[in-house]
Amino acid sequence: MTMMQGDFLREMSERDEKIKSLVNMGFSEDEANEAIIRCGVDADICVLVDSVSASRVAEDCHSRNLSDHQVTDRCFNSFGGRKKARLMEESRKKRKRYGGGGQGNRPSLDGSDEDSMPLPNPMVGFNLPGYSGPSVTRMLSKLDTGPPFFYYENVARAPKGEWAKISRNLFDIQPEFVDSLHLCAAARKRGYIHNLPIENRSPLLPLPPKTIFEAFPHYKKWWPSWDTRTHLNCLQTCVASAKLTDRIQRALVSSSNPPTKSVQKYVMDECKKWNLVWVGKNKVAPLEPDEMEYILGFPRDHTRGVGKTQRYKSLGNSFQVDTVAYHLSVLRRMFPNGVRVLSLFTGIGGGEVALHKLGIHMRVVVSVEIGEASKKIFKSWWDQTQTGTLIEITDVKSLTNDRVASFISQFGGFDLVIGGSPCNNLAGSNRHHRDGLEGKHSALFYDYVRILNFVKSAMGGRRM
């Protein structure tokens, strides 16, 4: 075999390998091929994913703009349009209830939302950092744009129809679905509804590590070739036990080298389910809290000072900072003197950390958070990094409209109302009470709506 033939074969197998990976990620073979042509066969898998996504975003532009025109229409007939949408929704539901046929999962063309709100694939939102090309544009009605600006977040994979409901309560604005996997080393599929401009966004620098190995190069040493993960799954609130590490180690030790297919499958299933990484010979373990902080974009030791369980829980519930910061980055130019923030369900302060990292001064933050551990974490971060005014409120129910009114007159209004309401009753991991938006915890969404609407009406369109 000649040298050239050898190179050729090596290149072919590398190409096949990468195509296979891309196909596994949900791209078509054609898309994978085109990306490799654009970027070269040596390009990192991550770069290839970006390339495919970018070309999809560009192609999507046309069709997406169609639906944006629906939104534009509401500039001229905002109220009537919404009412019509609601009526159509009702009649559609009735059709469904009484067994009428129908195409189902297609977004309708008249601006009304169907029950199902399809998630984009790839889940890249309106655009992502690193793309120079034209992206999605959207036009919001005058009534919907700030001030105040608002930013709402929750899990993308809520039960069917729940995002349509959320959208309906937030001025029918289309959610922006993003999987943070495109920005950092772990997946995080989330929907964001906001009235921020989407042009001229800029990412936080330095860009976060985009693969497991970029984030944790030292784990390469123990990573077996048959574990082909490049990204972690969603960081959740619970982590695997030390006993599981033991069980997996025993299974590996008693198998061959490399392990049998069935052992490999067992190990990989557990690794994916529990988000385990290779920390030693035959040894997998969950991420440490500080590693989760790193992936999620928080400063090191951000959650130090509370118990480990609480750290995992509050981190699992939090924003991915780079993702949120990318969306919020447009505020920097608009508010050179800083922002007044109403922060609902603050948690460990993902939104505030994002603003801080963007260099946006927080003149005021009125923060609502009920968790003792989260409050402690957030307060200690605030005290060591911020100079603005912080007002802490425990229960969102106690933040009555009257109190909001008095804050508005005290501070002259709010520039940003931000928050992700509880996902407990929406999240797929919840076996017991996945009751949707009306569930015990997730129903607090309606307090977000109440308070946002009150702020909007109290500020009455005037600049304050």
Give the interface with DNA as residue ranges (CB under 7 A): 26-28, 105, 116, 118-119, 121, 153-157, 159-160, 187-190, 233-234, 236-238, 241-244, 272-273, 307-310, 316-317, 420-424, 426-434, 441
Please give the Cα distance from 100 to 233 (Å, whole number): 39
The two counts, helices (H) then strands (E), for the chain are 15, 9
The residue type at 247: R
Contact 124, 61 (CB under 8 A): no
Q: How far is the CB of 218 from DNA (least distance, A)?
A: 23
Residue pair 301/293 in contact (Cβ under 8 Å)? The answer is yes
Closest approach, Cβ 282 to DNA, in A, equals: 18
Tokens of 112: 């009304």
The number of residues in the chain equals 464
Least separation in angstroms between residue 338's CB and DNA is 26
Alpha-carbon span 57 to 67, nearest angstrom:
15
Nearest approach in angstroms of CB 49 to DNA is 13
Annotated catalytic residue, options 184, 234, 271, 423: 423
Clarify whether 271 is annotated catalytic: no
Looking at beta carbons only, is 19 or 459 nearer to DNA? 19
Residue (189 or 379) nearer to DNA, CB: 189
CB of 248 to DNA, least distance (A): 11
Query: What CA–CA distances, in Å, run from 133 to 33, 56, 61, 197?
Result: 21, 12, 11, 17
At CA 204, angle to CA 198 and CA 207, rounded to 5? 120
**Nearer to DNA among residue 11 and residue 16 (C-beta):** 16
- 296 or 416: whose CB is closer to DNA? 296
User: Closest CB to DNA among 116 and 401?
Assistant: 116
Would you put residue 104 in left (φ > 0), alpha (ψ -120 to 50) or beta?
Answer: left
CA dihedral 436, 440, 443, 448 (to 10 degrees): -140
Catalytic residue IDs: 423
